[in-house]
Amino acid sequence: MAAKKKKKAKKAVKAKKAPAKKAKKVAKKATKKTKKSPAKKTVKAAAKKAPAKKAKKTAPKKKQIVGEGDYAASAKFDKDQASFVAKNKAAIPAMGKDAEKALDGPEGDALREAEATAAARSRDNF
C-alpha cells in the first residue's frame, strides 16, 4: 500500500501591523525674547565703587580636649610637678621635715582643717 501523505492546509498568516505612529508635533519656531541690558554705569559711578576686600585668614582655634578630665591641664600639671622635683631634688626631704614640724606646732589644727576641706571636695575619698 502506498502511503499517501496528507497535506495539511497551511493557515493563512496574518500580516503583522506596525504599531500606530504618533503624529509628529510641528515644531513651532520659538521667538527669542531679548533681555533688556542694564543701563551702563557712568564713569563717576564706576570710580566710586570700593575695591573688593580680601578675606583675612584666621588661625584655627585650638579646641580644649575635655573628656574624663582636662587632658591639656593634666599634661601641664604633670610637667610642672616633674620640673619642681627636678629643681628641688635635694631640698625635698627637708621640706617634708618642715611640714611635719608645722603639723606638730601651733598651726597644726589649721593645716588639718584645710586638709579636711580639700579632701571633702575631692572626687576620691581616701
Average pLDDT over every residue of 99-104: 94
Which of 2-16, 49-63, 111-125 has the least mean pLDDT?
A: 2-16
Q: Has residue 114 been placed in a domain?
A: yes
Within-domain flag for 24: no
pLDDT digits (tens, 9 = 90+) for 3-35: 555 555 566 666 666 666 665 555 555 556 666
Q: What pLDDT is stored for residue 57 in this prediction?
A: 77
* CB 111 within 8 Å of CB 104: no
Q: Is residue 5 part of a domain?
A: no
pLDDT at 43: 61
Question: Across the chain, which distance is largest between two alpha carbons, in Å?
Answer: 148
- Domain tally, the chain: 1
103 in any annotated domain: yes
Q: What pLDDT was estimated at residue 124? A: 72
Determine the angle formed by the axes of helices 108-121 and 92-104, rounding to 10 degrees.
110
The pLDDT of residue 106: 93
Question: Does 102 fall in a domain?
Answer: yes
3-state SS, one letter per residue, for the chain: CCCCCCCCCCCCCCCCCCCCCCCCCCCCCCCCCCCCCCCCCCHHHHHHCCCCCCCCCCCCCCCCCEECEEHHHHHHHHHHHHHHHHHCCCCHHHHHHHHHHHHHCCCHHHHHHHHHHHHHHCCCCC
Residue 35 counted as domain residue: no
Per the structure, the complete domain to which residue 111 belongs is given by: 90-119
Contact 88, 95 (CB under 8 A): yes
Mean per-residue pLDDT for 59-76?
77
Q: In this predicted structure, what is the pLDDT of residue 24?
A: 58
State how far the alpha carbon of 71 is from the alpha carbons of 14, 39, 81, in Å.
89, 62, 15
